[in-house]
């Protein structure tokens, strides 16, 4: 049986497309028959909201998963997409750094619980915009890191800090952690700066940068207010097409095999 694959979607900058990528990559993989679990690890809970999980419905959350006896199965919820489950987050997660500071093995709490995932699952972790205890838990639990990079001026500078963190995690507890790749997001092909950032990223990072670039697309930004992935909200949009194409590349790069839920 195929092993599970755990991917931390991380960048300490906010607003670069982590959550949008988690939702739409998750949706595209699930629609393609991959058993997919999204872990909402951001206290803002945007991935939960974006997949139509109302705050009142969030009985068991990722906080319970980290801090309590709850199993993965106790905490996951179905989404409007078959094969896609989510462990939701609520704002109480923002105190996790402090609450868990004295807990034994506090960087391995998520890893322990994700070991319960069914064989062959693909688990995407939507990280908060910081390199604190939550992101550390994600990186310790993960096989790889997917880095969304917004095509703007300081994008590459923030990246070196993230790569340093990945290096530390490799040395301190997860020697097999890889960088799966960098996904350029919110690119505007009419804008010279977007093109320059893309050229710089490809020159510096080579094949680490995925061939597909996600364009800035108004349908992508509208979808969350309809509590849907853009793949459901407007399947014919450019944003949907880009995320579907990216999901295919991503599955090929990770050599994901399909095991229907």
Footprint on this chain of ligand ADP (rule: CB under 6 A): 14-20, 46, 129, 185-186, 214, 216-217, 220-221, 224, 239
**Shortest separation between residue 139's beta carbon and ligand ADP, angstroms:** 16
Is residue 74 within 8 Å of 44, Cβ to Cβ? no
Nearer to ligand ADP, 120 or 231 (CB): 231
**18 contributes a contact to Mg ion by CB under 5 A:** yes
DSSP 216: P
Per CB under 5 A, contacts with Mg ion among 39-98 are 42, 46
Contact 52, 80 (CB under 8 A): yes
Cα separations in angstroms, 231 against 83, 104, 217: 14, 41, 13
- Closest to ligand ADP by CB, 64 vs 152, is 152
Please choose which of ligand ADP, Mg ion, none residue 141 contacts, taking the beta carbon within 5 to 8 angstroms, the exact cut-off set by kind: none
CB 30 within 8 A of CB 82: yes
Q: How far apart are CA 8 and CA 130, in angstroms?
A: 13
11 binds Mg ion (CB under 5 A): no
What is the closest distance, in whole angstroms, from the C-beta atom of residue 18 to Mg ion in the complex? 5
Report the C-alpha gap between 161 and 11 in whole angstroms. Answer: 9
User: CB of residue 93 vs ligand ADP: minimum separation in angstroms?
Assistant: 15
**In the complex, which residues of this chain contact Mg ion (CB under 5 A)?**
18-19, 42, 46
């Amino acid at each position: 049986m195929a092993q599970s694959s755990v991917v931390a979607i991380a960048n300490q900058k906010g607003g670069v497309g982590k959550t949008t990528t988690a939702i739409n990559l998750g949706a595209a993989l699930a629609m393609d028959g991959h058993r997919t679990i999204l872990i909402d690890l951001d206290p803002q809970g945007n991935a939960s909201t974006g997949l139509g999980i109302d705050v009142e419905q969030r009985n068991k959350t990722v906080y319970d998963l980290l801090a309590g006896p709850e199993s993965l199965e106790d905490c996951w919820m179905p989404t409007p997409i078959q094969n896609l489950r989510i462990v939701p987050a609520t704002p109480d997660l923002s105190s996790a750094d402090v609450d868990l500071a004295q807990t034994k093995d506090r960087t391995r709490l998520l890893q322990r619980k994700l070991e319960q995932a069914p064989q062959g699952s693909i688990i995407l972790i939507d990280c908060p915009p910081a390199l604190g205890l939550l992101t550390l838990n994600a990186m310790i639990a993960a096989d790889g890191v997917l880095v969304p990079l917004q095509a703007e001026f300081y994008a590459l500078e923030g990246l070196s800090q993230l790569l340093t963190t990945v290096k530390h995690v490799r040395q301190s507890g997860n020697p097999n952690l890889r960088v799966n790749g960098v996904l350029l997001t919110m690119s505007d092909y009419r804008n010279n700066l977007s093109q320059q950032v893309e050229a710089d990223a490809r020159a510096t990072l080579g094949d680490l940068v995925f061939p597909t670039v996600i364009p800035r697309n108004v349908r992508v930004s509208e979808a969350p207010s309809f509590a849907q992935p853009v793949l459901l909200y407007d399947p014919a949009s450019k944003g949907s097409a880009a995320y579907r194409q990216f999901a295919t590349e991503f599955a090929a790069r990770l050599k994901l095999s399909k095991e229907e839920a």
